[in-house]
Amino acid sequence: MTSKPGGKRIESVVADANVILSAIIGKASLKVFTRSAVHVVSAAVTLEEVWEYLPTMSAAYGIAREVLEAQFRLLAIAEYKLSQYRRFIPTASRLIGKRDPDDVELPALALYLGIPLWTNDKDFDGAGVECYSTARLLKTLGL
């Protein structure tokens, strides 16, 4: 999907936990899931992180955990296991490992799939993969 003729076409993105959590509570990132044809994927470890953070989100926003869990399930995010993109971990480690060694899996997955990373985390800037913030992605998609 693209915002205008001749614009950049984005068919798939690798999603970081921050944009997934934002979508779960109904913020702007939810539009990518509900108003576009973009295929959203993520690493299994990232999806586990989201599950673990739901009780905190529930308390912070006063939303029942069961509601947040149901919303998460409805997002239909394709999950990739480390075994699928493991060979890209060394490259991702060289690109981002010094800034945040715990965040190498998402750039590795983006490199493996050859698609952009969707995140609002500035640590990924200059990570060797194209990154889209939610605002930039929504603008590109014409949303």
User: Distance between CA 46 and CA 40 in Å, rounded?
Assistant: 13
Provide mean pLDDT across the span 60-84.
Answer: 97
Q: What are the pLDDT digits (tens) for 28-58?
A: 999 999 999 999 999 999 999 999 999 999 9
Taking the domains of the chain in order of start, what are their residue ranges?
12-141
- CATH 3.40.1390.30 correct for 12-141: no
Contacts of 103 (CB under 8 A, 6+ apart): 96, 121, 123, 124
Answering whether pTM is above 0.95, one says: no
| Position 9 pLDDT exceeds 90 | no
Block residue for tokens 């500035």: 122
Provide mean pLDDT across the span 66-93.
Answer: 96
Query: Over the chain, what is the mean pLDDT?
Result: 91
